Structure 1
Amino acid sequence: MEINYPAMTDGERVRKLESPAGPIKMVLDTDTFNEIDDQFAVIYALLSPERIELQALYAAPFHNDLSTGPKDGMEKSYEEIIRILKLMDREDVPVYRGSESYLAAPHTPVNSAAAYNLVERAMACDPADPLYVVGIGAITNIASAILIEPRIIERIVVVWLGGHAIDWQDTREFNLEQDLHASRVIFDSGVPLMLIPCMGVASNLRTTLSEVRDYVLPSGAIGAYLYETYKNCKDDHFAYSRVIWDISVIAWLNQSNTVPSRLIPSPRISADCRWSVDSTRHLIRCASYIDRDAVFHDLFTKLKMASN
């Protein structure tokens, strides 16, 4: 079954993809238990009220060594989100369970509380004041919402950490590869999309245990939580650094000048997980670099201020 997506001109799409000019309404879709970086991103968003009004959190599915399948991954992510909100005394932010599976076919959505809540919130928005839908996991919930109600693409901007740089040798990246049907919906639907590639862009966001000890641990209960999360990710931290991928999307919303980007034709994803560029396709915005020092300066400063 083909989906009739609303027609948008590239001019309309590009205007929506300009750097956010002021405080924005945002929902965050996160596979929070999958890695240690989602926790940093959720907290970074909550510590940025001058730029971000976080309206809801959605638990995304994931499947790796930390889960028995997408449903288990989603449930563990839901529980981790609840833990973070309790720690930050922010239980006022609603949390919704997401998809229990990946898309079974190209245009078959997965029904979930998260997908339906996204549709409801998006349809309540004025197209001139869109809802920013930020994804830092498999894009299943967001793609499902678009398939359930295609008209939401006129009322949202998707900001997604997914895939690798366009000139990378492949795009076998965890967020993108888990649900290829959903990933293709995002690139094919015409939804305004700010893409932050992993390798080649977000891969700049490395930090070390000593840096986290010096600049995160002193920040009260939140800092202690993030420090322990980082410390426990590896037995031996000698000469080791780790990428905190997911803060990249929050950085673009907070300080877009730290994440230079360009407009490119929306790429296709081949069967063997490679980018295929077609110059006739609609435009998306794609990050080309990220200023690692500026991003961590902003995050560490906000953690310090929150503990005072």
Structure 2
Amino acid sequence: MRPRYRVIIDNDFSGDPDDLFQLAHHVLSPSVEIPFVIGSHLSPGDYSDPSDRQADNAAEIARSLLELLNSTIPVFAGSNIGLRGPAEPIASAAAEAIVREALRDDTELPLFVALGAGMTDLASAVLMEPRIAERIKAAVWIGGPEHEGLGLEFPIEGSVEYNLNIDIPAAQAVFNDSAIPIWQVPRNTYRQAIVSFAELDARVRPHGPLGWRLADSIATLHAFTQSHGLLLGETYGLGDQPLVLLTALHTAHQPDTASSPFVVRPTPRLTAQGWYEERPDGRPMRVYTGIDTRLMFEDMFLKIAAFANR
């Protein structure tokens, strides 16, 4: 199968393990070409990786998973810190790679940037070279709070949404000041991406070293949280999985994300506090209100099984 799109994957692989499932599923999807993967940072001092080298650690974790997938896709470490302000880029190998890929003139494959964490390196790239905005089909982002009238009222527990909180100035640079088209999967929508531990044990764990690695990442987290008095129940959210659904699993004719509902509205302005301000003249953006979990998870389960049986 020939690819339809290029997809740059940018995720905080040293955080919650949902990003490992997303990376494996993307690599196993032949309709996308992945020029490289970016390991990005978490929120400062995040308990899952309190080091000051979070992006470097994320890149190493991504490389180890790609080895299980027999993949030679390059991995770049992003910046280990967020932007100081929405107009101050941070040079990194990842940001420079985004610029190079977006400005390529030897391919006509549309380019997505799939973001499962913050926007640090994409923001730096567009600040360094604004021309890339017109060369990106969309930044598909798992992040941001609910929009008024499209889901739960925000804030949830009085907190800023996690992926936005990783680097609010970077999100401001992309939302407020760039021309990059945005396909957003906000908090109330990505929380629909739920699997049960029973599903993981039956549909993922039995399928070779990759299946064991993925299932064990959740089981290890489950055991850790229980030892600290936090009970996860019987399910876990694979909130980054819509990145695969919205870039690799498009319809056959007039390719698009037809089975996942969205609304188109003007891109709001993001405040320094992590909330939206209406901007009627903002460029159009997609806000996904639902995701096709049947297609997304069945495709993932079957591809993991098929890879183990090669």
* TM-score tier after normalising by the smaller chain length: 0.7 to 0.9
Post-superposition offset of 1:151? 0.3
C-alpha separation in 2, matches of 1:117 and 1:239: 41
Determine the structure 2 residue equivalent to 1:204: 192
C-alpha separation in 1, matches of 2:247 and 2:6: 11
TM-score, normalization by structure 2: 0.86
Determine the structure 2 residue equivalent to 1:56: 36
Q: Is the 8 A contact 2:222 2:232 kept in 1?
A: no
Q: Is the 8 A contact 1:127 1:154 kept in 2?
A: no
Which letter maps to 1:145?
Answer: A
Determine the structure 2 residue equivalent to 1:265: 266
Determine the structure 2 residue equivalent to 1:194: 183
Distance 1:127 1:147, change over 3 A: farther
Determine the structure 2 residue equivalent to 1:68: 50
C-alpha separation in 1, matches of 2:82 and 2:304: 35
C-alpha separation in 2, matches of 1:122 and 1:67: 31
Q: Deviations over 1:151-185 (max 9, x none)?
A: 00010121111112212313711111121110011
Q: Deviations over 1:16-58 (max 9, x none)?
A: xxxxxx6101110111111110000000100101x11111001
C-alpha separation in 2, matches of 1:37 and 1:238: 15
C-alpha separation in 2, matches of 1:273 and 1:232: 32
Distance 1:35 1:125, change over 3 A: farther
Identity of aligned residues (%): 26
Determine the structure 2 residue equivalent to 1:121: 101
Distance 1:85 1:192, change over 3 A: same
Determine the structure 2 residue equivalent to 1:3: none
Post-superposition offset of 1:204? 0.6
Q: Is the 8 A contact 1:252 1:258 kept in 2?
A: no
- Could you tell me which of 106, 116, 132 is aligned with 1:136? 116
Q: Is the 8 A contact 1:140 1:182 kept in 2?
A: yes
- Could you tell me which of 77, 93, 98 is aligned with 1:97? 77
Question: Which structure 1 segments of 5+ residues have no match?
Answer: 1-21
Post-superposition offset of 1:259? 2.1
Matches within 5 A, 1:258-297: 258-297=259-298
Q: Deviations over 1:42-86 (max 9, x none)?
A: 00100101x1111100111113102235x4211210110111011
Distance 1:257 1:111, change over 3 A: same
C-alpha separation in 2, matches of 1:125 and 1:226: 37
Q: Is the 8 A contact 2:172 2:271 kept in 1?
A: no
Question: Which structure 2 segments of 5+ residues have no match?
Answer: 250-256
TM-score, normalization by structure 1: 0.87
What is the RMSD computed on CA atoms of the aligned residues?
A: 1.9
Alignment coverage as a number of residue pairs: 284
